[in-house]
């Protein structure tokens, strides 16, 4: 104890409490001023429901809910947030779109709004305002957000899906870093298995992590579901080569990946069951959080892990597939102005940058001005994901991002094809034929 009777920890906790109170007060002042100037005045008596994916990082959800509360205090519009798993957002949004009733807004992933573009509220005015204010939208955000020249959703964030790895384990296998080419990456994975520290990627219907690595692998070898005119071209020599590659890769995986969803790889990595997997930086965030609580095993993971971008394949250029998170409002909402006001409020710099901080880089930005956000220089292990919105290919691959591409992704056409080969449920020829039949039904 100090002479004043307060321990160093007590002083620190008091300081943090004061800092939090100050930040909350500043948010309230900004929110009140913003509400006076906001161009989209909420309807009298407006209240909203928003369905979003369940948080992967607690601090992100807390940061988001602070913004929700500030919006309500400033505008009088209550916002009820409903949380669902990633895989449940799409079917619930589809039902709502078809029945014309349900939550006012949905926050999903990838090309979800393109499953029902005519049922989404036109938010072109909000998108144009934000683009003009914050340096313009990245190209992939325009692709995901627009349909027939209008904005049907705002891709408010991205999740950089990158390679997570344990440095000590890859060094045990004879490597200093993740190879930058697909051939070298396969050799690393083989060496890790030989040293009994295997890696593993999801082969179950994991909307985020499973789709991300499978599309990277196929695209890296020149395999595409459709061409630029949306003609189905999956039955190709490039697809055969790609499936031969992923089959060899999967032979190195830890057992059980056939049933992995979007949470299994996190658990496997944090417990040391795998040395390499793909994910956002939420694994690192969880390790840092555990280390801060004094958990020695989490500190070991935090100190030993790092991130890498996906290797380049035979096509000779990056083919990364990062997760976009579009926020859409439905046409059936009784409070369109309130929806637009909430979207605009969320992406204002005074709100958005603190939210990025709270997400500890698990979420990244769609507007160019946020390249300079403080979070990207806060930790060298996080800087890697800053530009994923600019680097990513989009859900249609070579084709368009529309209802058919969204359907192919939602139906796991590419992921199921890869999983069938990797688990020996089908030959390469049969798996391609199955995917081709599915794709032709979708793209007829």
Contact between 151 and 127 under an 8 Å Cβ cutoff? The reply is yes
pTM score of the predicted model: 0.89
pLDDT per 10-residue tile (average), the chain, 444 residues: 40 41 69 92 97 91 96 96 90 96 95 94 98 98 96 97 98 97 98 98 92 97 97 98 98 96 91 96 93 95 97 98 96 98 97 95 96 95 96 95 90 97 98 98 95
Structure tokens at 164: 């997570």
What residue has token string 């976009």?
A: 324
User: Among 250, 253, 284, 256, which residue's Cα sits nearest to residue 270?
Assistant: 284
Residues 6+ apart with CB under 8 A from 101: 332
What pLDDT is recorded for position 24?
Answer: 61
Question: 282 near 302, Cβ under 8 Å?
Answer: no
Phi-psi domain of 167 (left: phi exceeds 0; alpha: psi -120 through 50; beta: other): alpha
Please report the pLDDT score of residue 16 as a whole number. Answer: 37
- Cβ(330)–Cβ(121) below 8 Å: yes
What is residue 26's predicted lDDT score, i.e. its pLDDT? 77
Common-topology check for domains 40-160+322-391 and 162-320+411-442: yes
For the record, the structure tokens of 219 come out as 């695209």
Q: Taking the domains of the chain in order of start, what are their residue ranges?
A: 40-160+322-391, 162-320+411-442
47 touches 78 (CB < 8 A): yes
* Domain covering 162-320+411-442: architecture: 3-Layer(aba) Sandwich (3.40)
Q: Which residues contact 30 (CB under 8 A, 6 or more apart)?
A: 350, 351
CA angle 441, 442, 444 (to 5 degrees): 65
Under a CB-based contact definition with an 8 Å cutoff, are residues 123 and 340 in contact? Answer: yes
How far, in Å, CA of 245 to CA of 398, rounded? 21
Q: What is the pLDDT of residue 6?
A: 41
**Cα–Cα distance measured from residue 344 to residue 340, given in angstroms and rounded to the nearest whole number:** 6
Instruction: Give the DSSP letter string of 286-333.
Output: HHHHHHHTT-HHHHHHHHHEEEEPPPB-TTSS----PEEEEEEEBTT-
Backbone angles phi, psi at 158, to 5 degrees: -130, 155
Q: Six-digit token pair at 15?
A: 């300081």
pLDDT for the residue numbered 11: 37
Q: What is the pLDDT of residue 208?
A: 87
CA-CA distances (angstroms) from residue 309 to 250, 253, 425? 19, 19, 30
40-160+322-391: what fold? Answer: D-Maltodextrin-Binding Protein; domain 2 (3.40.190)
């Amino acid at each position: 104890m100090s002479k004043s009777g307060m321990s160093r920890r007590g002083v620190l906790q008091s300081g943090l409490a004061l800092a939090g109170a100050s930040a909350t007060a500043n948010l309230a002042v900004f929110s009140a001023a913003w509400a006076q100037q906001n161009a989209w005045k909420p309807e009298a008596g407006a209240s909203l429901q928003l369905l979003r994916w369940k948080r992967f990082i607690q601090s992100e959800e807390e940061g988001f809910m602070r913004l929700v509360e500030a919006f309500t205090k400033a505008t009088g519009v209550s916002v009820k947030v409903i949380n669902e798993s990633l895989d449940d957002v799409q079917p619930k949004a589809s039902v709502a779109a078809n029945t014309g009733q349900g939550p006012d807004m949905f926050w999903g992933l990838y090309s979800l709004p393109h499953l029902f573009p005519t049922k989404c509220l036109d938010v072109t005015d909000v998108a144009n305002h934000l683009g003009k204010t914050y340096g313009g939208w990245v190209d992939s955000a325009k692709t995901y957000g627009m349909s027939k020249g209008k904005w049907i959703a705002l891709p408010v964030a991205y999740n950089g899906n990158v390679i997570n790895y344990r440095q000590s384990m890859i060094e045990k296998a004879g490597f200093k870093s993740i190879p930058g080419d697909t051939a070298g990456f396969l050799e690393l994975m083989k060496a890790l298995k030989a040293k009994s520290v295997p890696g593993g990627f999801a082969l179950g219907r994991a909307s985020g992590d499973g789709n991300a690595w499978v599309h990277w692998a196929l695209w890296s070898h020149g395999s595409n579901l459709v061409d630029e005119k949306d003609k189905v071209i999956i039955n190709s020599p490039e697809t055969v080569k790609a499936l031969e590659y992923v089959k060899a890769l999967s032979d190195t995986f830890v057992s059980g990946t056939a049933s992995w969803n979007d949470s299994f790889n996190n658990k496997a990595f944090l417990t040391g069951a795998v040395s390499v997997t793909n994910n956002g930086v939420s694994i690192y965030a969880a390790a840092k959080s555990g280390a801060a609580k004094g958990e020695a095993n989490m500190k070991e993971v935090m100190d030993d892990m790092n991130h890498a971008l996906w290797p380049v394949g035979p096509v000779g250029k990056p083919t990364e597939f990062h997760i976009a998170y579009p926020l859409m409002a439905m046409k059936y909402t009784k409070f369109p102005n309130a929806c637009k006001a909430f979207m605009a409020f969320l992406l204002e710099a005074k709100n958005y940058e603190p939210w990025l901080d709270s997400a500890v880089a698990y979420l990244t930005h769609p507007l160019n001005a946020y390249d300079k956000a403080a979070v990207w220089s806060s930790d060298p292990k996080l800087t890697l994901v800053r530009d994923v919105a600019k680097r990513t290919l989009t859900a249609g691959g070579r084709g368009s991002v529309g209802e058919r591409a969204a359907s192919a992704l939602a139906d796991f056409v590419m992921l199921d094809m890869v999983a069938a080969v990797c688990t020996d449920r089908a030959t390469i020829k049969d798996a391609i034929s199955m995917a081709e039949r599915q794709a032709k039904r979708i793209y007829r």
